[in-house]
Structures are given as structure tokens and as C-alpha cells.
Amino acid sequence: MKLRKKIYLVAGYNTIAMGSGRKEFHPKKPRPGLEEYMKEAGQGVLKQIGGAANVDECVVGNFIASRYNKQANLAGFFPFVDEGLKYKPCVRVEGACGTGALAVATAIKSVLAETADVVLVIGVEVQNSVKAVYGADILAAAGWYKERKTGHAHFFPGKFSDRAGAYYQKFGYEKTREAMATWYRNAIENARLCPTAQEYHNTSPDLMGAGMLKPNPITFTENINVFDCSKVSDGASGAAIVSEEGLRRCGIPLSEAVEIVGLGMAENDLTAAPADLTRLDTTAVAVKKALEMAGISRDDLATVECHDCFSIAGIMAAEAIGFAEHGKGADFILEGNTARNGKVPFNTTGGLIGWGHPTGATGVHQAVTIWEQLTGKAVNNQITIPADRPYGLSVNMGGDDKTLVSMVYRKTNV
């Protein structure tokens, strides 16, 4: 099934991904709140689309501010972003770590339903409001919370430690750990080129050494180390989803838009354990749907933004997308295919491990990164987009491969 009309993403904007690693970050000093991050991202988009008068509807993606910040009803912050948004229809959506892409998908459906031609989308999360161990309890709500008492103290690192352990056992420890370390190195090298990335200031001289640090179950988990993990982050990302009429209304040339040509959504049972710890089955289904809607194959992709909440998830994502056979994802990465100068560069601004993971914003950030790449706006992070591969793919995952949204974007000036 194809989309019934043309849908475009324009006017991307990212705040800084704030947290440990940023020179500006200090846990005891005041930092922006949800409303400030929404305002920065929202105004960053509005300036590119001719202002709030051009907006028909608004969507905010946020996972769990009601616990991190004791604040709900985030749609009510849109008039704070700009007075011109007062009385516009606004909604907040949630799907754990897949929230950002769900917000984009919600905007797409509004345009398809012809209730809007221009939808302002913001993803936002502020997570450095509590200590990490309390944050782990909050984030456990992305999984089945009834497992919390029997799970690891940090819960999701425990879940993906189990996945990594199963992968080691089935396909070998040394090669898998080297691939995970390579994934980490690539993430930080990309983040060092992106001023908004949380790891932008990382000056470590031995990234592979850090990535190869042997996991220690006494201090963390049995099968992954702290460098295998995405960040605790504050930040927001924004963009506008528009129709052809919306493009004209906003005065945006086609060359500064990307067309969304594929949308794949898939949900799995939150209460059920993975059928196979070494596979991301729901990811594979969502990607297959997105590629089929777009009418392309994985070989047509110039770049991918995947949900590397942990480095082992990056390996498994390469397999789920179909770039490598099951068990061969480590080889695909070790061969350099996912590096910024590789066959299909992944996560060109650092991904969740390098750029950061403000959960509700991540899926929007992925879309903005691909928009930057396909429109030539990625500055120091810019890669070459081959003329015969004008497509990008994003994969945003909520929970342990439970809530999935994948999108295919096409460069328009080809």
C-alpha cells in the first residue's frame, strides 16, 4: 500500500542533547526544563516555515515527563512556544523510546486525513532530573513493569545484557565484543562532528579500548559495559510534516524537503519474552513494511538511523534490516560497512550512544538527521548521497523490540 498523497518533512531543528559529557552540564546547576526545550525546538521550526500562522495542528512526543518532571498535559505548552499556536489542535503521544517516531507518524496521519496541511512536531524529554538508579526505575515502564522486581537494578541494561550474552553464546564472544566496540567508536567519531551531540566534547584517545572494556557484573551488568549504552539525556527535536499545499504555504522549495515514502509500524506483546534473544523480530517487521510501502529494497538506502540504545542493538538492527544474515551482523560492522565512509553509513550524528537519547525526542532526531543528510544541510556530518540511492531509513524502537516505527525518506531534488 502506498501513501495516498505526497508527504514531506521540512524545517528540522535539534537542541543540544544535554547530559554527562557536555561541558555545560553540571548535575547541581539549574538547567532548562521541558517548556524551555519545547520552545527552542518549536521556534527553531517555526522560523523556517513562516511562523505559527502557517501551522494547522501540533504533536508533541514525550515518554514519561509525568514521572521525571511531575508534568503532564504537554500539549498545553504549544501556546507557550508561540502565542500564534493558541487554540490550535494539539496532542501528546507516547510509545516509550519509540515515542518520537510515533509523533511523526501521528502528524503524517493528520495530513493524510486532510485535517491539516502543516503539522508542527516536537519530541522532548528531560531525564537528568533524578539520579540514574531512580531513572532506571522510571525507564522500566517502557517494558513490562511487573518484571521490575526480578529484573536488573538498571533494568534495560539488564535486558540487553541478556541479549548480548545470548549472542555471544550463539555466535562467539570475541568478534561480537569487537563489533560492539567498533560501533561505539563510530558513534563517538560521528558525534565529535556534531555540535549538538552529547558526546561532542569527547576527547578520549582510545575509543576502541573503552569499547572493549570487559563487562563486570559486580559494577554493572554481565555482558555489556557502560560504553555500550545510550545516554541519559535532556533535549528536544522538531520538524514540520506538510502536504504539497503546506509546502507552498510555507514557501519552502522542494529541494529543502524530503518526501516520506514509506511508513512501517509494528507492535508486539509487552508481557511476552522475546522469542529469540538474538533477533529483533518486531524491528524486522516494521522495516519490511516501510521498504515495501516505499517500493525499494535495503540496497537502495544511502544512510540509516537505527535505534542503538545499546551497541548490541546496532548489530542486531543491521541483521533485522537485512544487511547481514542472522549471526553475521558483527562481520558487517567489522568490515566497515556502517562507518561514515562505509557502504551504508549508520547514525551519522552519533545515534543514541553518541548524539544522546532524550527518549521522547529520539525518533524526531533520527528524522531530522536524515532530512539534513538528504538536503545537504548536515555540515561537518555530511556524507555523500549517491544519485542512484537517494533514500534514508529510520528505525525507532520502544521497549525491548516492542513498539516499532520505521520510515523511508526520499531526496526530492533528483
pLDDT value, residue 20: 96
If you ran DSSP here, which 8-state letter would residue 383 be given? -
Residue pLDDT, tens place only, 389-411: 999 999 999 999 999 999 999 99
Torsion angle in degrees (nearest 10) through CA of 40, 41, 42, 46? 100
Cα-Cα-Cα-Cα dihedral sign, residues 330, 331, 337, 340: positive
Q: 42 Cβ partners below 8 Å, 6+ apart?
A: 78, 81, 82, 85, 120, 122, 238
Residue with cell 520502544: 398
**Residue 10 and residue 144: Cα distance in Å, rounded?**
36
Q: Provide the 3-class DSSP secondary structure of residue 170.
A: helix
The pLDDT tens digits of the residues spanning 127-157 come to 999 998 899 999 999 999 999 988 888 899 9
What per-residue confidence (pLDDT) applies to 376? Answer: 97
Maximum alpha-carbon separation in the chain: 59
Q: What is the model's pTM?
A: 0.98
Domains of the chain: 8-131+232-255 (3.40.47.10)
Question: pLDDT at position 2, please?
Answer: 87
How much is the pLDDT for 38?
A: 98
pLDDT, position 365? 99
- Taking residues 209-234, report their average pLDDT: 97
Q: How does pLDDT run across 66-119, given as a tens digit for each residue?
A: 999 999 999 999 999 999 999 999 999 999 999 999 999 999 999 999 999 999
Q: What is the DSSP string of 256-278?
A: G-EEEEEEEEEE--TTSPPS-TT
pLDDT in tens, 51-68: 999 999 999 999 999 999
pLDDT over 90 at 44, yes or no? yes
pLDDT, tens digit, for every residue of 293-349? 999 999 999 999 999 999 999 999 999 999 999 999 999 999 999 999 999 999 999
